Amino acid sequence: MDQVLVTCPPMLGLMDEFYPVFEQYGIKGVAADVLQTLSEDELIAALPDYAGWIIGDDPATARVFKAGKKGKLRAAVKWGVGVDNVDFEACKSLDIPIINTPGVFGREVADVAMAYVLGLARDTYAIDRAVRSENAWPKPRGVSTWNKTAAVIGFGDIGRQTARRLLACDMHVRVYDPFYKPVAGLDVEPVTWPEGLEDVDFLIFTAPLNDSTHHMFNHDILPRLKPGVRLVNVGRGPVVQETALLEGLRSGRIIAAALDVFEEEPLAADSPLRKFDHCIFGSHNGSNTVDAVRHVSQLAIKRLATFLTETKA
């Protein structure tokens, strides 16, 4: 029976449900011992023993795939939408069929983005921390959303769903995406990056990571920002240059940030970001709901099982 290595943390959290699904396809799922990602060396050591791999955010590099190909590896599936960590060209050259699971998680990640926007607007997270840890009863004066402008950077599934939620809060929504296409029912303003940032109140990054989005928020952008802007990133960490974000926070031009993703994950214990009490930090967990994980994991298993059947000698 073919064995499949699973290294995706959200899927691993429900693996007991998925073992029978693997068995229905005549394959055996094996859960990796991993918190966030395995290293290249760990993958090179482990992967040759498996016919298939369901990838999380691990470094799925050419070295890793070459090692797997020398062993039993015949196919892989990238769990979820983001593919910046996967060398698809290496898979093509090695004749390893691979695919991701596009078009999923938009609503789930958009829910987190909206929660972050409201949390930054009303200081709800800071209030909770003060009530719990300081026995305090704070009354910070927040800001309303109905008279604010939000910029959504990236207008894919997550961006569109985020815009829908922002519009429901009566915000004016600008969209930055070179491939923008209008969507019925979404009354947004398409703008070319970085034009028009001078009067944006909330910057919300939902963009994937690629050559054009890497560090698109950087030190050159800071002077363009409206003083007191709030920043949210639920896309990919390196889209926002951390040193620029820190400069903005220290100067006060950025009043606070909410980040589900970081340039390096997990967030280091000594990260200077931790010094900003009004920031909100996640754990790259925006897509992780029971409903979404079940749907995407079953889809990933099915697609990988199909590959393994097609490549069986």
Residues annotated catalytic, as ranges: 236, 265, 284
From residue 19, alpha-carbon distances to 15, 51, 166 in Å are 6, 16, 39
188: burial class by Cβ within 10 Å (0-12, 13-18, 19+)?
Answer: buried
Phi, psi torsion values for 176, nearest 5 degrees: -115, 110
Tokens of 175: 């969209």
- CA atoms of 79 and 260, how far apart (whole Å): 18
Tokens of 37: 């990602």
- CA atoms of 19 and 78, how far apart (whole Å): 18
Phi, psi torsion values for 228, nearest 5 degrees: 90, 15
DSSP codes, 84-105 = TTB-HHHHHHTT--EEE--S-S
66: burial class by Cβ within 10 Å (0-12, 13-18, 19+)?
Answer: middle
What is the strand order of the sheet 280-281 is part of? 189-191, 172-176, 149-153, 202-205, 229-233, 254-259, 280-281
To 10 degrees, the CA torsion angle through 271, 274, 279, 285? 60
61: burial class by Cβ within 10 Å (0-12, 13-18, 19+)?
Answer: middle
